[in-house]
Structure 1
């Protein structure tokens, strides 16, 4: 059975992937800024 990947050529798929990657990056930065950095600062004190 051949799979036709042509149905994923629509720009909406690129937008959805970009949105997901953007949210993941923002979540990573916020986690770093709100949890990792304060933990490092207080562990040094």
Structure 2
């Protein structure tokens, strides 16, 4: 069995994919909130 087959067998299940997608979605939401709450006001008030 090749190395990629072993990795796919261990991490290819639906539970791992769902967990990874949840983590990525959570990080995207946090990044969007950071941009809206901190970066955008900094740029707006910096331009005044």
Relative to the length of structure 1, the TM-score reads 0.85
Please give the root-mean-square deviation of Cα atoms over the aligned residues, in Å. 1.2
Higher fraction of helix: 2
> Any idea what the Cα deviations from partners look like across 1:3-34, whole Å, max 9, x if unmatched?
52212221000001000100110011000000
The structure 1 segments of at least 4 consecutive aligned residues displaced by more than 4 Å after TM superposition are none
- Structure with larger RCO (C-alpha < 8 A, sep 6+): 2
Unaligned runs of 5+ in 1: none
